[in-house]
Amino acid sequence: MTTALYSLCAAGAWVAAGYKLSATRKLRDPTVAAVCVTLALMGMVFTASIPPLRVWLDHQLTSVNLGVLLTLLCVVAFSTSAQVMLLLWTNTPENARGAVRNRLIALAGVVVLITVLYLGAHPGPHDHSFSRSSAGSLGYAACLLIYLAALGIAMLAIARLGWRYARLTGRPLVAHGLRLAAAGATLVLAYCVYRLGTLVGSWLGSDMARLETLSRFIAGNGALLIMLGLTLPSWGPLFVHGFDHLRRYARYQRLHPLWLSIVAERHPELVLDRSTARALRRFAPGELDFRVYRRIIELFDARLALRPYIDPAARERARRLTRHLDEHERSAIVAATELRSAVRAERAGAPADHEPPEAEEAPLDGDVVSALAWWVRVARAYARSGWVAEALAASTDAPADAATPDSPRRPE
């Protein structure tokens, strides 16, 4: 599980770093540079932490376990880089300059201390257990304490900045990203507390190595949340656009049974593109916005063509039955009743009313989005609404079998 998680995080970090580098020409912008450095450092951390790769590196460096030192330094550098990135996000470069400089100076000091203490402790090359490795070496324990302190302070700062500025920013994606980063920092902070406990436990003679996998899983997920949060403003719009496209596609498919009933079968002359009537053509993903717009036009045209056959009694019955519903749901049910009654009358050869009543007014906002949402409600009510079935069954002009299996009775 750890190998899969760390491999996924490493691949995601390197892909995000490469995408950011290839998509921008503003590396002189300190914010963009901080993003790229943060992602690259995260990629290095997860790559060096993948268990098979770590074991291989361990066997290549048999004298001193430099793989662990590299991981420790990259983690500290990543946490500092993430702080710098958040400072540049939430402040102007001029206001953030002093805080950024202080953090970089602190990073340099921590790197020197960790390196000196680690190399002076001469840790064994084949033991990656946090608690066992620190039990017999005061220098190595001091190195890990400095590492945990630096990481914990950085995570505390990231969590504080994230939760604070998420409430202040007016950009939803930035706010969500800050919350994700803050949540990830909170997880990593919990990891730091646990690691501190393992250090104390090792000094007291308690071996907590059995929880190594769980602690790495918590740290990995925390770092993953930080990475997702810091990059959300970049990839978030693409995700939102893709989700909106899928939602429009699903709604377009939901219109097909209604379109088939009142347009293709009853008034095929209204079909603007005959190829859409083919069975598989409607599943094509291309030109979705144009096809949705055209389908809505055809449905409105068919509704107008069926207007002379509307049963006023069924419509009034539907209005009475749904008077307690909200405006959008009530309008859709009444419109579906009108269409069902009109299709039945036209199919039965009933004479057209040359002065037909006005059709139910659709509560639209004047855009395609609201029209699509309304027609989806109409299509659902047309297919299976018990209110529609009851209104048609109670109409004096409707046939006795108006309630079909597709239109169950309204539950009592």
Question: For 54-64, how does the pLDDT look when each residue is reduced to its tens digit (9 = 90+)?
Answer: 777 767 665 55
Where does the pLDDT of residue 247 fall: very low under 50, low under 70, confident under 90, or very high at 90 and above?
very high
- pLDDT higher than 60, residue 412: no
Most confident of 65-69, 93-97, 188-192, 365-369: 188-192
174 contacts 141 by C-beta, under 8 angstroms: no
Domain with CATH 1.20.1070.10 in the chain: 2-239
- pTM of this structure: 0.67
Report how far residue 66's alpha carbon sits from residue 396's, in angstroms, rounded to the nearest whole number: 88
182-239: pLDDT as tens digits: 999 999 999 998 888 888 877 776 666 666 777 878 888 898 898 888 888 888 888 8
Most confident of 23-32, 209-218, 240-249, 391-400: 240-249
Report how far residue 335's alpha carbon sits from residue 330's, in angstroms, rounded to the nearest whole number: 9
Q: What are phi and psi of 24, to 5 degrees?
A: -130, 150
23-47: pLDDT as tens digits: 666 556 777 788 888 888 888 888 8
Where does the pLDDT of residue 405 fall: very low under 50, low under 70, confident under 90, or very high at 90 and above?
very low
Q: Give me the residue label for tokens 């206001």.
A: 95
> What is the DSSP secondary structure assignment for residue 51, as one 8-state letter?
H
- pLDDT higher than 70, residue 354: no
Return the sign of the alpha-carbon dihedral for residues 315, 321, 324, 330. negative
**DSSP reduced 3-state for 25:** coil
Report how far residue 132's alpha carbon sits from residue 209's, in angstroms, rounded to the nearest whole number: 7
**Is 2-239 a domain of CATH 1.10.357.140?**
no
87-143: pLDDT as tens digits: 887 788 788 889 899 999 999 999 999 998 888 876 655 455 555 555 456 778 888
pLDDT at 142: 86
